[in-house]
Structure 1
Amino acid sequence: MAYEEAKKKLRGSICPVITPFTESGAIDEKVFIELINWQIESGSHGISVTGTSGEPSSLTIAERKRVMNLAKETIDGRVFFAPGTGSTNHDETMELTKYAEDIGADAAMVIVPYYNKPNQEALYQHFKTVADSVEIPIIIYNIPGRSAVNMEVGTMKRLVEDCPNIIGVKEANKDFEHVNRVLLNCGRDFLLFSGIELLCYPMLAIGGAGFISATANVEPAKVAELYNAWEAGDVARAQDLHFELMPLNDVLFKDTNPSPVKVALGMMGKITPKLRLPLGLPSAAIQEEVRESLIELAILPKEVIVK
């Protein structure tokens, strides 16, 4: 896909689909396929897997490839596909990004390495080496809250200038000044996706391309509608959805993502709410808050009983 074509196509609500597990901890491939089909039927414009919500650090390299391939086969060109291919390990990131290219993904989302805490020059060299090794479009995933490092605007600008296939960024960055400066310095056509739920609507207002929101796992239709309303010029509806979704956004991050999301999907009968250690389910109090939020949005009936 030509990069300018990719910039036109890769827009909207991209769901970072969770990785469902069976009670024994194996990947539940049947349920995974069902989740992707449900997302597409509900109006999500794109699918990502093996990002933060997909628990990539709890998967082996072989499992990440299997999840990516299964997603690509299930999507079958109906919406665009941008799997997460980043890791703390440079060679693994290279291998997974090349694999995304080989299976025909529309883009690869590469996270700022977590735990390592590289400096800005090392970040530049890491991303440039990965980008230079493939032709697939690259979306930087900047999430300082989990990686402990923020990719500075100057570093991102250098990468955009030197690597034509780096076409966008998922900014899970609460600093709204920072994300404004990303577009100012990287170009107004640079794809800016929100990875912060409460900034999904505000980022559209400054020219963002959409959002990659964990909340779409639970309420895909309304999250996609927010983008559709904005694109249609229905600002009032987009604002209404922004505030309507806010309580759900809040409760889904009362514990480490994707723990509350999996609890919600379990209550909805979509998955077995299983995580791999070292992650675990949230407290009973948070689970009750999740249940109340789902009832408030009419995702669950009021008489639902959660065991």
Structure 2
Amino acid sequence: MSKYDEAKKKLRGSICPVVTPFKEDGSIDFETFEKLIDWQIESGSHGISVTGTSGEPSSLTTEERKQVMRHAKKAIDGRVFFAPGTGSTNHDETMELTKYAEELGADAAMVIVPYYNRPNQEALYQHFKTVADSVDIPIIIYNIPGRTAVNLEVTTMKRLVEDCPNIIGAKESNKDFEHVNRVLLYCGRDFLLYSGIELLCYPMLAIGGAGFISATANVAPAKVAALYNAWESGDVKKAQDLHFELMPLNDVLFKDTNPTVTKVALGMMGKIAPNIRMPLGVPSEAIQQEVRETLVNMELLEK
């Protein structure tokens, strides 16, 4: 069995895309960051990702992203698997960060479709193939057309999987569930497909998905992990119940741009100081009140 086949068996479940906490002066709060990771693991999360969308990567320098990855690897200490986000709008930076993830001994690297540039499909193929060929680490493609303004089409994904043995999975933050189904059809049923859309976490499991990389896990890690565990154990009713129980929280956390609302929620829960780097800003008072009410209703916060 190749190491990529082994990775396909291992990299499953609820992977939390941990936020990057900042101090009042805007510097990274590494002490709080490491506590967040401990809480995630103690709560049952199966894996940790950092410097993906929820980690505000576009607000971090390349060196800061490396520091976050390094601190995460140390804090995890092999307890769960580690798949940091290493993609960027810049090809050379993506190469540098992906190689750094390999040097750190990460279990996989999650590489986003380049945002803002809007490459065509052939350019996307060449970008991902060049990155994959430069390392000997499993690659998870991160397709999030709502943030990147371009969709990695199924035919392009299929080419990459056929030509790059270390491209083993994809995080699909894609509301087009027909597209998501075709990813598994054309890339193979053993391809690791993760939901990045909160309301599709449960449906993704039903078609053979490997799990989810859900921002909601930052706030309710135990419940999000329990949803996967219930499905995996064959308790469909419990998985369905958790799916609907989490819906109000899923909805409110995306009332404004992720991760701003998630940070507000974590601030209310006493987990972080909810500081955000510009150009992102603090959600409105109305949204914050809705967050508080939702947390109380879900017994994640006292009245």
TM-score (norm 1): 0.98
SS at match of 1:169: strand
The equivalent residue for 1:29 is 30
Aligned to 1:215: 216
Q: Is it true that 1:233 corresponds to 2:239 in the alignment?
A: no
Specify the alignment match of 2:154 in structure 1.
153
Q: Name the structure 1 match of 2:52.
A: 51
Shift of 1:118: 0.2
Structure 1 Cα separation of the partners of residues 302 and 69 of structure 2: 34
Which residue in the other structure is 2:266 paired with?
265
The equivalent residue for 1:144 is 145
Structure 2: segments with no counterpart, 5+ residues? none
Partner AA of 1:33 in structure 2? E
Alignment of 1:11-90 (within 5 A): 11-90=12-91
Give the Å deviation of 1:101.
0.1
Mark the runs of 5 or more structure 1 residues left unpaired by the alignment.
303-307
Q: 1:219 is matched by which residue type in structure 2?
A: A
1:186 Cα deviation from its structure 2 partner: 0.1
Q: What are the superposed Cα offsets for residues 198-243 of structure 1, whole Å, 9 maximum, x if unpaired?
A: 0000000000000000000000000000000000000000000000
Distance 1:223 1:24 in 2: 32
Amino acid at match of 2:133: D
Task: Give the CA deviation at 1:64.
Answer: 0.2
Q: Deviations over 1:81-137 (max 9, x none)?
A: 000000000000000000000000000000000000000000000000000000100
Partner SS for 2:142: strand
Alignment match, 2:294: 293
Deviations 1:46-78 (A, max 9, x none): 000000000000000000000000000110100
CA distance in 1, matches of 2:289, 2:151: 34
User: Matched residue of 2:51: which SS?
Assistant: coil
| Aligned counterpart, 2:246 | 245
Deviation at 1:284, TM superposition (A): 0.3
Matched to 1:135, the amino acid is: D
Q: Percent identity?
A: 82
The structure 1 segments of at least 4 consecutive aligned residues displaced by more than 6 Å after TM superposition are none
Q: Scaled by the length of structure 2, what TM-score is found? A: 0.99
Partners in 2 of 1:284 and 1:221 — Cα distance? Answer: 28
